């Protein structure tokens, strides 16, 4: 049996974290559109979660943010002159473009890419496809830098295969691991990869949401399966329930989460729920696939969305059994907290729940699971990866000091036009590439 571990790569919140109401279909993003954010608190909350998981014995690493404001995209859109003039003109003539080009949304690393561990792929390399995030302009400008960062972290052709993001446009809308999970008995075993989509792009008259966009297509899932050299018997592709997308479930990870041999989901998660369960059970390579299905009576869909219960991380405890790493909002919601109390007392693999305060992220629709990308690495693959990105006490200390030195503690949309903010962000990111040994990955470093 091959030994492998699952690493949580959490997104480091960027210095321009702000609330701009950019994501139609994401209830929290629209609700908090005009509020002031606190980038320093957001980054420190994220780092505190990383450190706590590391201290629990769960392997942890970190993924760098984007350069924002994204001057190179503003130039592509026709703004000219020096950087200060680009900012000034964009703020005056197209403030909506400036906020879109300033989002710190790469902090939701679940959306950065889809990763298939080497145990699942035909060439036995770990495959990575950066997500095109085509449905939202402010996110569709992430994948180039994401790819460069991932390539410097996993820079070894013998072990890692990097694919270009899928073609841009609605037909191949791909939201990365927010719509992908993997089931297995042991992380080093060949697993069952589970892809979830919101609509078909090329087939008309199929069910799809009516009010909010379906961000992930069936065709995008199939393309990733081909690129990653996955076999049919180890892959399931299922459709999300369009009715819940219309209620604000913009990604599958807002209504379902999986780990090991367990799927934890709401009863309204999938369009053909029973058929999806049957296929998962049939194809699961181990012999004990388990499902914990939460009914609407236990947790109404509105509570699942507002508390982000299913955007918890579901992890193996070093001492056995699983644990939910849930957002603090789950404790405050009566239906959810009562349900969680029953859940850990019942007969299922989830033995414990820990809550974390990530409100800065939650206000933009990002819970604990959004903040991380799961990457299964064998010992050899771990040794072939960039060692500087793996969490330890020194790195935690260095990064908290770095955040405290460079980040502001309040930010509104008006601040984004401040040339000083651009300079501060670039100074911070330049130092960060040194700390994480990434080389030159940002447009301002390679221009
Ligand atoms: O793409 N929010 C992100 C939240 C992503 C959450 N990720 C997962 N569920 N895996 C999004 O909607 C809001 C930005 C703003 O409104 O300022 C935003 O992009």
Per-position pLDDT tens, the chain of length 447: 789 999 999 999 999 999 999 999 998 999 998 889 999 999 999 999 999 999 999 999 999 999 999 999 999 999 999 999 999 999 999 999 999 999 999 999 999 999 999 999 999 999 999 999 999 999 999 999 999 999 999 999 999 999 999 999 999 999 999 999 999 999 999 999 999 999 999 998 899 999 999 999 999 999 999 999 999 999 999 999 999 999 999 999 999 999 999 999 999 999 999 999 999 999 999 989 999 999 999 999 999 999 999 999 999 999 999 999 999 999 999 999 999 999 999 999 999 999 999 999 999 999 999 999 999 999 999 999 999 999 999 999 999 999 999 999 999 988 999 999 999 999 999 999 999 999 999 999 997
The two beta strands, 235-239 and 192-197, are: parallel
pLDDT at 137: 98
CA-proximal residue: ligand 1, atom 8 (nearest): 370
Our mutation pick for probing the ligand 1 site, out of 20, 68, 108, counting the most ligand atoms within 8 A of Cβ, is: 108
Within a domain: 138: no
Contact criterion met (CB below 8 Å) for 420 and 87: no
- Sign, CA dihedral 174-178-181-187, equals positive
pLDDT at 180: 98
Within a domain: 432: yes
Ligand 1 atom nearest to 29, measured from its CA: 16
Q: DSSP for 329-380?
A: HHHH-HHHHHHHHHHHHSSSSEEEEEEE--HHHHTTT--TTTTEEEEEEEHH
Q: How far is the CA of 138 from the centre of ligand 1 (A)?
A: 10
CA-proximal residue: ligand 1, atom 10 (nearest): 370
Within a domain: 145: no
Number of domains in the chain: 1
Contact criterion met (CB below 8 Å) for 176 and 111: yes
Q: How far is the CA of 245 from the centre of ligand 1 (A)?
A: 14
The two beta strands, 256-259 and 262-266, are: antiparallel
Ligand 1 atom nearest to 110, measured from its CA: 10
Contact criterion met (CB below 8 Å) for 32 and 411: no
CA-proximal residue: ligand 1, atom 7 (nearest): 370
CA-proximal residue: ligand 1, atom 14 (nearest): 22
Our mutation pick for probing the ligand 1 site, out of 8, 17, 26, 372, counting the most ligand atoms within 8 A of Cβ, is: 26
Q: How far is the CA of 301 from the centre of ligand 1 (A)?
A: 19
Which H or E element spans position 197?
strand 192-197
Q: How far is the CA of 365 from the centre of ligand 1 (A)?
A: 5
d(CA 56, CA 78): 49
Query: Sheet containing 180-183: which strands, arranged edge to edge?
Result: 180-183, 192-197, 235-239
Within a domain: 149: no
CA geometry: angle 147, 386, 447, nearest 5 deg: 45
Q: How far is the CA of 371 from the centre of ligand 1 (A)?
A: 10
pLDDT at 204: 83
pLDDT at 447: 74
Within a domain: 335: no
Q: How far is the CA of 249 from the centre of ligand 1 (A)?
A: 12
**b/e map of 418-435 (b: 16 or more CB within 10 Å)?**
beebbebbbebbeebbeb
Contact criterion met (CB below 8 Å) for 96 and 54: no
Within a domain: 214: no
CA-proximal residue: ligand 1, atom 6 (nearest): 366
Q: Is the peptide bond before 28 cis (omega within 30 degrees of 0)?
A: no
Within a domain: 406: yes
pLDDT at 246: 97
Please list every protein residue whose CB sits less than 6 Å from any atom of ligand 1. Answer: 19-23, 26, 29, 103, 105, 108, 110-111, 136, 139, 178, 251, 253-254, 364-366, 370
Active centre residues (catalytic): 175, 251, 370
Q: How far is the CA of 15 from the centre of ligand 1 (A)?
A: 16
Ligand 1 atom nearest to 22, measured from its CA: 16
Ligand 1 atom nearest to 133, measured from its CA: 1
What phi and psi values does residue 10 have, to the nearest 5 degrees? -95, 145
Residue 101 belongs to what domain range?
1-107+390-447
pTM for the whole structure: 0.97
Instruction: Measure the CA dihedral 391/396/402/408, to 10°.
Output: 110
The two beta strands, 126-130 and 160-163, are: parallel
Ligand 1 atom nearest to 251, measured from its CA: 9
CA-proximal residue: ligand 1, atom 11 (nearest): 23
Ligand 1 atom nearest to 176, measured from its CA: 10
Domain harbouring 65, CATH code: 3.75.10.20
d(CA 438, CA 447): 16
């Amino acid at each position: 049996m091959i030994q492998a571990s699952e690493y949580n790569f959490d997104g480091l919140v960027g210095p321009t974290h702000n609330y701009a109401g950019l994501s139609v279909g994401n209830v929290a993003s629209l609700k908090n559109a005009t509020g002031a954010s606190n980038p320093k608190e957001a980054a420190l909350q994220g780092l505190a979660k990383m450190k706590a998981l590391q201290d629990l014995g769960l392997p942890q690493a970190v993924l760098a943010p984007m350069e924002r404001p994204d001057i190179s995209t503003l130039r592509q859109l026709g703004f000219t002159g020096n950087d200060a003039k680009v900012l000034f003109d964009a703020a005056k003539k197209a403030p909506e473009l400036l906020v879109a080009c300033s989002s710190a949304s790469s902090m939701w690393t679940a959306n950065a890419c889809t990763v298939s561990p080497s145990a699942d792929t035909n060439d036995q390399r770990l495959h990575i496809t950066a997500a095109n995030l085509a449905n939202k302009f402010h996110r569709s400008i992430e994948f180039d830098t994401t790819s460069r960062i991932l390539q410097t972290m996993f820079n070894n052709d013998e072990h890692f295969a990097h694919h270009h993001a899928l073609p841009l446009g609605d037909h191949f809308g791909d939201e990365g691991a927010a719509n992908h999970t993997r089931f297995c008995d042991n992380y080093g075993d060949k697993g069952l990869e589970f892809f979830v989509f919101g609509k078909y792009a090329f087939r008309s008259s199929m069910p799809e949401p009516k009010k909010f966009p379906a961000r992930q297509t069936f065709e995008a899932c199939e393309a990733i399966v081909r690129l990653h050299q996955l076999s049919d018997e180890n892959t399931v592709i299922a459709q999300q329930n369009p009715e819940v997308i219309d209620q604000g479930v913009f990604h599958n990870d807002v209504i379902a989460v999986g780990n090991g041999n367990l799927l934890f989901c709401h009863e309204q998660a999938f369009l053909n729920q029973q058929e999806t369960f049957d296929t998962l059970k049939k194809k699961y390579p181990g012999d004990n696939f388990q499902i914990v299905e939460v009914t609407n009576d236990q947790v109404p869909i509105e509570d699942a969305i507002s508390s982000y219960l299913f955007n918890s991380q579901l992890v193996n405890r070093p001492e056995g059994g699983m644990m939910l790493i849930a957002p603090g909002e789950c404790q405050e919601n009566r239906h959810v907290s009562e349900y969680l109390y029953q859940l850990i007392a019942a007969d299922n693999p989830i033995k414990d729940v820990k809550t974390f305060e990530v409100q800065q992220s939650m206000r933009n629709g990002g819970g604990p699971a959004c903040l991380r990308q799961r990457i299964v690495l064998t010992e050899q693959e771990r040794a072939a990866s960039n060692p500087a990105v793996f969490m330890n006490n020194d790195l935690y200390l260095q990064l908290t000091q770095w955040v405290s030195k460079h980040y502001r503690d309040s930010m509104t949309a008006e601040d984004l036009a401040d040339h000083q903010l651009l300079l501060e962000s670039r100074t911070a990111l330049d130092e960060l590439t040194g700390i994480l040994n990434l080389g030159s990955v940002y447009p301002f470093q390679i221009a």
